[in-house]
């Protein structure tokens, strides 16, 4: 009898221990889920609920990125994924790996998988025209994300930041800052012939000249050099090193993107010229750039090109199309926004991917 009581006591303790382990695991999992959701909220990539008259369960959103080897593209991918899944849809993605032939093959694969909407960020505005026509033949609507494509392509709308308007805001700010003081400008561009970079550059020039004409009655646009960075930190560093040797009198750097100039800052600092050169970006609102704007005087401003908002808008328009909407503008823009020292803290999020 004594042995039976001992065994019963042991079984009772084991049961209690097992129960406690189960409870601990339950709360641990719940806490991890909450932490994951909180992180997504903090990064701004948790997705939005979209109104839909049709049942979205079982619908497939296909997305092909030009590359995932950059924070901007990672944030855009995450935003599209989160918004698709938040609305009960399946998210199928492909990576173009910065190779036109690979991106074409990746898009063809998404078409074969029967996606209900194709979101495409083209590496090249000409080379991807063919696959948009292939998608249309398959009955799949195509939405161009962030980049641009030849107007002959079969697509519903282009979803991107208003690059011309953003650039204009940055250019106006710069012209106001310098007034009648002489500007010796170096322009850091992404790569030659890029249509998005061209719009940003046009916006910057338009903003500078419009403001000068309005306040001074004349234009004094002194762009001493342009260099290409291939949209990279290393490219910006090398370009700026060369510029400072060839043009030591540069006092302004304007750029088509934060990423083009973040590497250039190292070269400027090494040359001891952070007090002599003012940086103005026509886009992106990258968190590192916003931090510089908050904490220094040499990074004057940047304009918002939010991958999170573009991703949410893209999925929203795809859902609207599934619900029967057809009257889309060919270009759909996020609102222009200039980030300066006065409002930078409002837009700085250290938890953001980009």
3-state secondary structure string, 82-99? HHHHHCCCEEEEEECCCC
Same domain, 64 and 126: yes
> Which of 281, 325, 333, 279 is closest to 306 using CA atoms?
333
Would you tell me the crossing angle of helices 258-270 and 233-246 to the nearest 10 degrees?
Answer: 50
Q: What is the mean pLDDT of each run of 10 residues along the chain (354 residues)?
A: 42 43 36 36 66 96 94 95 97 95 97 98 94 97 94 96 97 97 96 90 97 96 96 95 97 96 96 97 95 97 96 98 97 96 96 91
User: DSSP code of 341?
Assistant: T
Helices (H), the chain: 2-43, 71-86, 100-112, 129-137, 163-178, 195-216, 233-246, 258-270, 287-295, 307-322, 344-347
Could you tell me if 230 and 192 are in contact, meaning their C-beta atoms sit under 8 angstroms apart? no
Same domain, 212 and 289: yes
Residue 105 CA, distance from chain mean position: 24
Rounded to whole angstroms, the Cα distance separating 48 from 203 reads 31
Q: What is the pLDDT of residue 45?
A: 58
Rounded to whole angstroms, the Cα distance separating 65 from 145 reads 9
Residue 8 inside a domain? The answer is: no
Residue 41 inside a domain? The answer is: no
Q: What is the pLDDT of residue 28?
A: 37
Same domain, 329 and 280: no
Same domain, 81 and 181: no
Q: Hey, CA dihedral for 19, 21, 23, 29, is it positive or negative?
A: negative
Could you tell me if 99 and 124 are in contact, meaning their C-beta atoms sit under 8 angstroms apart? no
Give the domain extent around 189: 163-305+341-347
Residue 278 inside a domain? The answer is: yes
Same domain, 176 and 283: yes
3-state secondary structure of 291: helix
User: Which of 295-301's residues contact partners 24+ apart within 8 Å by CB, and which partners?
Assistant: 298/265, 298/268, 298/274, 299/265, 300/173, 300/174, 300/177, 300/340, 301/170, 301/173, 301/174, 301/338, 301/339, 301/340
Same domain, 238 and 260: yes
Token output for 46:
């948790």
Same domain, 297 and 318: no
Residue 209 inside a domain? The answer is: yes
Residue 37 inside a domain? The answer is: no
Same domain, 146 and 265: no
Same domain, 134 and 228: no
Rounded to whole angstroms, the Cα distance separating 29 from 23 reads 10
Q: How many CA atoms lie within 13 A of 79 on its CB side?
A: 27
Token output for 155:
């697509």
Q: What is the pLDDT of residue 69?
A: 87
Same domain, 143 and 167: no
3-state secondary structure of 330: coil
Rounded to whole angstroms, the Cα distance separating 21 from 302 reads 52
DSSP per residue, 194-229: -HHHHHHHHHHHHHHHHHHHHHHSS----EEEEEE-
Q: What is the pLDDT of residue 194?
A: 86
Number of domains in the chain: 2
CA angle 53, 55, 60 (to 5 degrees): 120
Same domain, 216 and 277: yes
Rounded to whole angstroms, the Cα distance separating 267 from 238 reads 8
3-state secondary structure of 120: strand
Same domain, 175 and 286: yes
Q: Which residues pair with 30 in a beta bridge?
A: none
Residue 288 inside a domain? The answer is: yes
Residue 259 inside a domain? The answer is: yes
Residue 96 is part of a domain; what is its CATH number? 3.40.50.2300
Could you tell me if 314 and 86 are in contact, meaning their C-beta atoms sit under 8 angstroms apart? no
Residue 236 inside a domain? The answer is: yes
């Amino acid at each position: 009898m004594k042995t039976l009581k001992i065994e019963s006591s042991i079984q009772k303790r084991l049961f209690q221990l097992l129960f406690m382990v189960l409870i601990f695991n339950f709360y641990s999992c719940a806490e991890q889920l909450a932490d994951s959701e909180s992180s997504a909220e903090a990064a701004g990539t948790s997705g939005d609920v979209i109104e839909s008259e049709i049942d979205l369960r079982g619908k497939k959103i296909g997305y092909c990125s030009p590359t995932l080897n950059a924070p901007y593209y990672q944030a855009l991918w995450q935003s599209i994924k989160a918004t698709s899944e938040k609305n009960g849809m399946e998210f199928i993605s492909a990576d173009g790996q910065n190779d036109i032939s690979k991106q074409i093959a990746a898009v063809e694969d998404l078409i074969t998988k029967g996606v209900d909407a194709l979101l495409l960020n083209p590496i090249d505005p000409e080379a991807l025209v063919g696959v948009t026509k292939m998608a249309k033949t398959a009955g799949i609507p195509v939405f161009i994300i962030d980049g641009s494509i030849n107007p002959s392509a079969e697509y519903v709308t282009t979803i991107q930041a208003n690059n011309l308007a953003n650039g204009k805001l940055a250019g106006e700010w710069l012209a106001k800052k310098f007034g009648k003081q002489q500007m010796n400008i170096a322009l850091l561009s992404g790569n030659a012939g890029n249509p998005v970079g061209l719009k940003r550059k046009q916006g910057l020039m338009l903003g500078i000249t419009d403001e000068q004409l309005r306040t001074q009655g004349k234009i004094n646009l002194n762009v001493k050099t342009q260099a290409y960075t291939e949209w990279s930190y290393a490219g910006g560093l090398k370009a700026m090193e060369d510029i400072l040797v060839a043009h030591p009198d540069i006092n302004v750097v304007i750029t088509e993107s934060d990423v083009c100039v973040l590497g250039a800052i190292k070269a400027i600092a090494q040359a001891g010229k952070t007090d002599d050169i003012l940086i103005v970006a026509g886009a992106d609102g990258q968190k590192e750039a916003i931090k510089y704007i908050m904490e220094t005087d040499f990074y004057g401003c940047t304009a918002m090109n939010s991958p999170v908002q573009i991703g949410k808008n893209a999925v929203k328009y795809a859902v609207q199309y599934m619900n029967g909407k057809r009257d889309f503008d060919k270009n759909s823009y996020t609102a222009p926004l200039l980030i300066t020292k006065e409002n930078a803290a409002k837009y700085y999020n250290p938890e953001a991917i980009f």
